[in-house]
Amino acid sequence: MSAPSNVVQLRAQHAQNAAALESMAEKLLADGPPTGGQPPYDGGMEARVTKLEETMTEVRERLVRIETRLEGVDSRFDSLESRLSSLPTHKDLHDLTWRIIGACALLVGATFAIARYIH
């Protein structure tokens, strides 16, 4: 069974965001900090980049946890979808309503016939 469209959209957006973050981090590591001598490009930039690199492992761990949760959400949606398919549809309820109305009309007619011709 396929995942609902909002889960698919969230996954696509998540993948785009992760790719953009990784691309920015790789570019920063490849180019090094810009020069100029004034903040934010002074000597403190190296310390900030180092701190970002250290926290990147935590970000990746969180990303793995999010992806794991999304897989769990997929399985829950699949089970809901299978349960929803067993519920009666609008057409089923409409047909049932007309059957009940027909049965009631038949009972009224039978009661009238009994009262008129047998009594």
Is 0.85 surpassed by the pTM of this model? Answer: no
pLDDT of residue 45: 74
Is 33 in the same domain as 79?
A: yes
For the segment 56-84, the average pLDDT, to the nearest whole number, is 85
CA dihedral 78, 1, 82, 89 (to 10 degrees): 120
Q: Would you state the pLDDT for residue 57?
A: 86
The verdict on 15 and 61 lying in the same domain is yes
Q: What gap in Å lies between CA 65 and CA 72, rounded to an integer?
A: 11
DSSP at 1: -
Select the more confidently predicted residue: 4 or 57.
Answer: 57
The average confidence (pLDDT) of the chain is 83
State the residue range of the domain holding 114: 88-119
